[in-house]
Structure 1
Amino acid sequence: MADIQRLPVLSVTDLVVLPGMVVPIELDEAAQAAVDAARTSSEDTLLLAPRLEDRYAAYGVIATIQQVGRLAGGAPAAVLRAGQRARIGVGVTGPGAALWVEAEPVEAHAATEHEKELAAEYKSLVIASLQKRDAWQVIDTVQRVTDPGTLADMAGYASYLTAEQKRQLLETPEIEARLTALISWTKDHLAELEVSEKISDDVREGMEKNQREFLLRQQLAAIRKELGEDEPDGAQDYRGRVEAAELPANVREAALREVGRLERASDQGPEAGWIRTWLDTVLELPWAVRTTDATDVTSARAVLDADHHGLTDVKDRIVEYLAVRSRRAERGLEVVGGRGSGAVMALVGPPGVGKTSLGESVARALGRTFVRVALGGVRDEAEIRGHRRTYVGALPGRIVRAIGEAGSMNPVVLLDEIDKVGADYRGDPAAALLEVLDPAQNHTFRDHYLDLDLDLSDVLFLATANVIESIPAALLDRMELISIDGYTEDDKVAIAREYLLPRQLERAALDAGELELTDAALREIVANYTREAGVRQLERLLAKALRKVATRMATDEQAERRTIDAGDVRTYLGRARFTPESPERTEVPGVATGLAVTGLGGDVLFIEASATQGAAGLTLTGQLGEVMKESAQIALSYVRSHAGELGVDAEALDRSIHVHVPAGAVPKDGPSAGVTMVTALTSMATGRPVRSEVGMTGEVTLNGRVLPIGGVKQKLLAAQRAGLTTVFIPARNEPDLDDVPADVLAAIDVRPVKDVAEILAYALAESGTASARGSQHAAA
């Protein structure tokens, strides 16, 4: 057994040093400590060991410090010469800050004949590998090595071995095992080199073949030029197509210029493919195709009325547009092209009210082609303007593709979900739409891919959106806003009878003679099974009922004509999903019924207030936005400042007050809940519940003035659906009642007010009810 030595340890990462190697080591704090300890206490000798992630190294090498200095970058370093392999023992104490261990050198033994044979085989493999790299100086060094152990440890310099493989060699003291592993690894490396060389040779041969073909084609082109046959195949065809096509002068000039470039380009180059794709796109666009608009205004209105119930504003606007164009045509005025001859209308309303399907009806009424462009989730400006031709896989934008799909230059283009357009690092699509939708600019719309002026002035653009606030102001300024706020109960029954039921009967393979769905049943479904501004859920419920009818008929061959009345609806659709909840929610003091507008239309909003003993303060919950939080603060300040007038004990408000708006998972914000919060706080403080049939909307100031709000029509429709009979609105919103259907105004007592005190005087019930006394007692 060799003498055990006590040495400082220098651990290195990402490097495995085998005996015989000379390596430079950059010194960090721990390595510097080991070098200092070696130079002062162990005669410039230390133990060099790899630092492992999964375990401590079992072996290292006894290295001698050859030189200490700095690297070219200025970092301290030391040059070490690795000597004998050593087995690492237990840690010991030693001078300095270095880690000291016991190291047992591994003694070398005389090589056996088998080991010499393995060494010879390995040497031949190493020389073969070095010859492929023309490393003749290294080959001479390898040839001079005769000791098998030394030859095996020279693999530490091999670049094709991984750190894990080198660590295995370090921890394998047996020469035969090291040589066996090295022979296997080197054979694998040589096999990989052969495959790589074969691939390189194949690529080189392919490049030489392409170069030879290119030279021959160039010579062929020169011969054709001398013979006067200098038109390559394909370019002549494109030139003929361009000359035969009906193109505007500027487009024809640009197309012929590209044909000239194609004639000069090599068929093998990528440019030829790009030019052909561009020419195909230009030639496929309907530059000279325009449909003739229908001139019969009465027939156009009849088509719109047949396809959609209600929507008077939209129908009137389309008929006006058609009437103006008809008169211009009669007087010989320009009706095609020119600035400002187009129209851009934005249909804003909740889902399911018929915005998207209205576009098809408009196109049918005008006699134009129709194309829909879905903008929901579009975040790349190139989707609108197209990609520049320098990019691989470049395409024109959606507007150009829509024109090509429509097959005419004056289609009806529906820009669906324009409020869902986003923006990121790829640009802002909404900004790119500004030129498209501006009637004063879109006669020279320029797509990045085409790089040609495209006249969009005669295109009828229709845009749809759910929420007007999500549309950028600059884009909204380019459009004519038309609100579609939703349908009344009578409207929904009429739509179900005229449109939805016949469509679902056809889908369920039922004849009108096999089933009768009464108006009472339809009204029951509308009133108690849906709560929506549109009719999508209503159509789903009708489809569900008809599927059940078809199933019963399939299982009962004797079934006769079936009639579904109001009392049968539960059989087919289950229990009612919605019941009036305002009486239940407002039977205790501190709860008021407000009205709000969401992306799904109008909705009823219950605001709750309570007070508990504790430090005076206001707690707000229900995921409220900044505007509603400010409304709550203003409401509390108003009630405190007018406590005497409202009959409220001032001390009752000097407690911990909590205002909550249920449905806390839904974000809520907007300036329309101020009066509702005042009413809820006053109800809580006085112990008087709010009348269950009363709803309200409006913002409030610190002195009690009721400020105007938006969405009056949608809120009143929601109030009707919720069963409210009295609704307070700001007095300055009274002109908005002109847009509210007459049947809604007949069902609801709408009261315009200027001061919130007028609402409190009517909305708060007397405090003599049992529920009010019980709630007041609980609050105290």
Structure 2
Amino acid sequence: MLFLDDIVLLPGMVVPVELDEAAQAAVDAARTSAGSELLIAPRLEDRYASHGVVASVKQVGKSRGGTPAAVLRTGERARIGSGVTGPGAALWVEAEPVAAVAPTEHARELAAEYKKLVVSVLQRREAWQVIDSVSAIDDPGDLADTAGWAPYLTNDRKRDLLETPDVEARLERLIEWTRDFLAESEVSDKIEHDVRESVEKRNREYLLREQLKAIRKELGEDQAEGNDDYRARVEAADLPDGVREAALREVGKLERAGDQNPEAGWIRTWLDTVLDLPWNERTTDNTDLAAARAVLDADHHGLDEVKDRIVEYLGVRARRESRHLEKIGGRGSGAVILLAGPPGVGKTSLGESVARTLGRKFVRVALGGVRDEAEIRGHRRTYVGALPGRIVRAIKESGSMNPVVLLDEVDKVGSDYRGDPAAALLEVLDPAQNHTFRDHYLDLDLDLSDVLFIATANVLDTIPQALFDRMELISIDGYTESDKVAIARDFLVPRQLERAALQTGEVTVTEEALREIAANYTREAGVRSFERLLAKAFRKAALKDLPVTVDAGDLKDLIGRPRFTPESSERTAVPGVATGLAVTGMGGDVLFIEASLLPGDKGGLSVTGQLGDVMKESAQIALSYVRAHAEELGISPEQLDHPIHLHVPAGAVPKDGPSAGVTMTTALVSLLVGRNVRAEVGMTGEVSLTGRVLPIGGVKQKLLAAQRAGLTEVFLPQRNEPDLDEVPQDVLEALTVHVVSDVREILRTALEPSAPRTGSRAAHPAHSDVS
């Protein structure tokens, strides 16, 4: 027995082995035995092998280094047993030969697959003679044992093959390992090829550059041509004096810097940016007020306040130009308009219409999710990969110094350790400062006073007060049902017909169908859901026999059943439920508030529905008012000794704000006196401890929501009466609006004259489940 370190022999191999003392004893003992055979097994770091190969000694002599050596030819496998005592110093063991098994058909298939992989490996190494030898092997076992020569297999894997007598198992492992090696080789070769090409390209470019430099030197043209080109470009460009001086200073630095100086690339990039900016380029505004109003009316339905503001801006601009008024104190006639409203009401598209009306270039700057101040002010040039801010890039993209820049989603600007982008916008939007706006990358004064900035936002609460103070607010609170029908008829239907590849007349939508969609299929301030439903209807109608007329009765087959139906009468069918009005990020909405008496005599108030702190305080104020005026309201003191639960449904939606105070008070009184709140009544307003109804915001959006929900009567705080001037006339005609200053006025009118049934369960706390 001979153990070899760090080498694994498989059957069919012929290898020279250097002989140490133990190996010499084993070879000598083998030569004295019949057949000159000995058993060889690997001895790796972790353990001895359980199998070995029977090898015959073919030749004994010396290696090229002069050390004793022997040439061995390996034969069949043998399983190593226990050690025995034998003659001489050699190690003797019992061994059981592993008989060869006739190959199966599956083994031959695996051998054919493995042979293809081996040939692929050998072709990569251009070992053509070895390919011929491998191709001539037919026996699957012999083919698997040729893996002993494979340099890509570790000794552990070769020992695994040695200890696996089953041919199919050996071939399956070899196929897997060889495929992995080929995949790794392909990746390695590709990387090596790419690196070699890159190095060769750089060497070739360096050689050509040096040759070009030598040719220019011989011709006397050894000055940097690119630097001369920048100086000529700066001198020829139409730049302000201060900008020209700064640019020429940078050109001087570039001329003194060598080609290998890293600052040269930064200076060239900065000069390219400066030269690409339209410092003195301006478009001429269209001052035809009648034509401007016609363009706005053609692009958008309604939105009179926005259109009036644009026309006013044009009128003042035309008057200033006619009187040749220069900028006062460096300030131009730039304006900053904030369009605030729910999604889908046309804020972004309105910016494009304004630009088309004025005849200016239009650029949109998306601010949603921006958290890095450098996005607004730019990066300083000392940073790698520095770029100017979005404002400078917008001016560069527009090609003029007086474009319409739409700052989209300004309410979604965030802040973190990288700075506060909203604070960086202060200089951009302040008319007293933006004529000298300084971008960190440019480090030059940029006049933004002639830029018309239009910002959009869904909610105002998240806009910092200092930024909000610099903008002129124009609210777009949403559309009435009639507005939606008109918008769909004039804008949405033609657009969706074109997208569905339908021509006018192939699919016709009736007025009744549009009104049905607006009333019962959508409950939104804008028209995005409306347009999606129209697109769905047109897609399905396009598959039918044309022409098709879509009427109200056809909507169920095309877009499904109505999603929204009036539910106020159903929700307020029992005492303790009142209908309030609220404003969300999606526009106005109705809010049902439910109250219930619980068994017990310890009193107390619990509120649910994911309410904010302000709304919880409103609930406590409402209960305190009811307790203080219980006798006047006809409420027995015993009822107030029981716990009260106040709940605002849709608990997954966070809710906060003071405007639910009167609704909570009405719900509590309705529960305690056992009288239903009238189903057609909605209300909004903050309540005080003395019962005063205090003003709130979002009146227009709330009244639009009340009309959409099917309400006909609304209570508003008296101090909100001026806000009714902004509400569309058709909404006011559909609603009876009561302005009140005391909550008693609401309680006298909003509650039904008497309890809906005798012996209301609200009078029995043990059974108060009316909510």
1:565 is matched by which residue type in structure 2? D
- The counterpart of 1:762, out of the listed 724, 732, 749, is 749
Alignment of 1:563 with 2:563, yes or no, is no
Question: How far 1:566 moved relative to its partner?
Answer: 1.6
Q: Deviations over 1:738-764 (max 9, x none)?
A: 000000000000000010000001111
1:257 is matched by which residue type in structure 2? R
Alignment of 1:611 with 2:585, yes or no, is no
Question: How far 1:269 moved relative to its partner?
Answer: 2.5
Q: Which has the higher mean CA deviation after the structures are superposed, 323-332 or 744-753?
A: 323-332
Alignment of 1:739 with 2:726, yes or no, is yes
2:621 is matched by which residue type in structure 1? I
Partner of 1:257: 249
The whole-number CA distance in structure 2 between the counterparts of 1:436 and 1:739 is: 30
Q: Deviations over 1:629-665 (max 9, x none)?
A: 1000000000000001111111101111111111111
The whole-number CA distance in structure 1 between the counterparts of 2:387 and 2:423 is: 19
Alignment of 1:547 with 2:536, yes or no, is no
The whole-number CA distance in structure 2 between the counterparts of 1:242 and 1:352 is: 46
Partner of 1:350: 342
Q: Deviations over 1:217-260 (max 9, x none)?
A: 8x979x96x99756213111111111111111111111111111
Question: How far 1:767 moved relative to its partner?
Answer: 3.6
Partner of 2:160: none
1:691 is matched by which residue type in structure 2? R
Partner of 2:574: 588
Question: How far 1:668 moved relative to its partner?
Answer: 0.5
1:483 is matched by which residue type in structure 2? S
Question: How far 1:728 moved relative to its partner?
Answer: 0.2
Distance 1:308 1:336, change over 3 A: farther
Contact 1:587 1:771 in 2 (8 A): no
Q: Deviations over 1:362-417 (max 9, x none)?
A: 00000000000000000000000000011111100000000011111100000000
Partner of 1:573: 559
The whole-number CA distance in structure 2 between the counterparts of 1:334 and 1:579 is: 59
Unaligned segments of structure 2, at least 5 residues:
1-88, 92-191
Distance 1:113 1:476, change over 3 A: farther
Partner of 1:233: 225
- The counterpart of 2:667, out of the listed 669, 673, 680, is 680
Unaligned segments of structure 1, at least 5 residues:
1-111, 115-198, 554-558
Correspondences of 1:169-208 after superposition (within 5 Å)? none
Runs of 4 or more, structure 1, over 2 Å off, are 226-231, 334-338, 770-778
Q: Deviations over 1:309-339 (max 9, x none)?
A: 0111110010011011111111122379931
Distance 1:602 1:304, change over 3 A: same
Partner of 2:262: 270
Alignment of 1:394 with 2:383, yes or no, is no
Question: How far 1:775 moved relative to its partner?
Answer: 5.5
What's the secondary structure of 2:233's corresponding residue? helix
Alignment of 1:602 with 2:588, yes or no, is yes
- The counterpart of 1:370, out of the listed 362, 368, 376, is 362
What's the secondary structure of 1:713's corresponding residue? helix
Partner of 2:68: none
Alignment of 1:712 with 2:699, yes or no, is yes
Partner of 1:187: none
The whole-number CA distance in structure 1 between the counterparts of 2:429 and 2:284 is: 22
What's the secondary structure of 1:495's corresponding residue? helix
Distance 1:261 1:662, change over 3 A: same
The whole-number CA distance in structure 1 between the counterparts of 2:509 and 2:371 is: 46
Partner of 1:153: none
Partner of 1:46: none
Partner of 2:61: none
Q: Which has the higher mean CA deviation after the structures are superposed, 504-513 or 493-502?
A: 504-513
Contact 1:337 1:443 in 2 (8 A): no
Q: Which has the higher mean CA deviation after the structures are superposed, 768-777 or 434-443?
A: 768-777
1:491 is matched by which residue type in structure 2? D
Correspondences of 1:70-81 after superposition (within 5 Å)? none
Q: Deviations over 1:106-158 (max 9, x none)?
A: xxxxxx999xxxxxxxxxxxxxxxxxxxxxxxxxxxxxxxxxxxxxxxxxxxx
Question: How far 1:676 moved relative to its partner?
Answer: 0.3
What's the secondary structure of 1:542's corresponding residue? helix
Contact 2:360 2:402 in 1 (8 A): yes
Q: Which has the higher mean CA deviation after the structures are superposed, 523-532 or 336-345?
A: 336-345
Instruction: Percent identity, please.
Output: 74
Alignment of 1:321 with 2:297, yes or no, is no
Question: How far 1:770 moved relative to its partner?
Answer: 3.4
Contact 2:582 2:659 in 1 (8 A): yes
2:511 is matched by which residue type in structure 1? D
Question: How far 1:565 moved relative to its partner?
Answer: 1.5
Alignment of 1:689 with 2:676, yes or no, is yes
What's the secondary structure of 2:225's corresponding residue? coil
Contact 2:317 2:333 in 1 (8 A): no
What's the secondary structure of 1:470's corresponding residue? coil
Length-normalised TM-score, structure 1? 0.70
The whole-number CA distance in structure 2 between the counterparts of 1:769 and 1:529 is: 32
Partner of 1:310: 302
The whole-number CA distance in structure 2 between the counterparts of 1:408 and 1:443 is: 15
The whole-number CA distance in structure 2 between the counterparts of 1:301 and 1:524 is: 31
The whole-number CA distance in structure 2 between the counterparts of 1:546 and 1:775 is: 51
Contact 2:367 2:412 in 1 (8 A): yes
The whole-number CA distance in structure 1 between the counterparts of 2:729 and 2:763 is: 40
Distance 1:328 1:580, change over 3 A: same
The whole-number CA distance in structure 2 between the counterparts of 1:619 and 1:336 is: 60
What's the secondary structure of 2:505's corresponding residue? helix
The whole-number CA distance in structure 1 between the counterparts of 2:427 and 2:754 is: 62
Q: Deviations over 1:400-441 (max 9, x none)?
A: 000011111100000000000000000000000000000110
Question: How far 1:774 moved relative to its partner?
Answer: 5.0
Question: How far 1:293 moved relative to its partner?
Answer: 0.4
The whole-number CA distance in structure 2 between the counterparts of 1:229 and 1:768 is: 104
Partner of 2:709: 722
Contact 1:363 1:370 in 2 (8 A): yes
Partner of 1:519: 511
Q: Deviations over 1:470-504 (max 9, x none)?
A: 11000011100100000000000000000000000
The whole-number CA distance in structure 1 between the counterparts of 2:423 and 2:220 is: 52
Q: Deviations over 1:668-689 (max 9, x none)?
A: 0111000000000101111111
Alignment of 1:430 with 2:422, yes or no, is yes
- The counterpart of 1:508, out of the listed 486, 500, 510, is 500
Partner of 2:275: 283
1:634 is matched by which residue type in structure 2? I
Contact 2:674 2:755 in 1 (8 A): no
The whole-number CA distance in structure 1 between the counterparts of 2:331 and 2:317 is: 14
2:609 is matched by which residue type in structure 1? G
Partner of 2:654: 667
Partner of 1:750: 737
Correspondences of 1:488-503 after superposition (within 5 Å)? 488-503=480-495
Partner of 1:439: 431
Partner of 1:164: none
- The counterpart of 1:658, out of the listed 641, 645, 662, is 645
Pairwise CA RMSD: 2.8
The whole-number CA distance in structure 1 between the counterparts of 2:691 and 2:422 is: 40
Question: How far 1:768 moved relative to its partner?
Answer: 3.6
1:653 is matched by which residue type in structure 2? L
2:426 is matched by which residue type in structure 1? L
What's the secondary structure of 1:602's corresponding residue? strand
The whole-number CA distance in structure 2 between the counterparts of 1:238 and 1:686 is: 86
What's the secondary structure of 2:588's corresponding residue? strand
1:588 is matched by which residue type in structure 2? V
The whole-number CA distance in structure 2 between the counterparts of 1:238 and 1:336 is: 35
Contact 1:588 1:775 in 2 (8 A): no
1:517 is matched by which residue type in structure 2? V
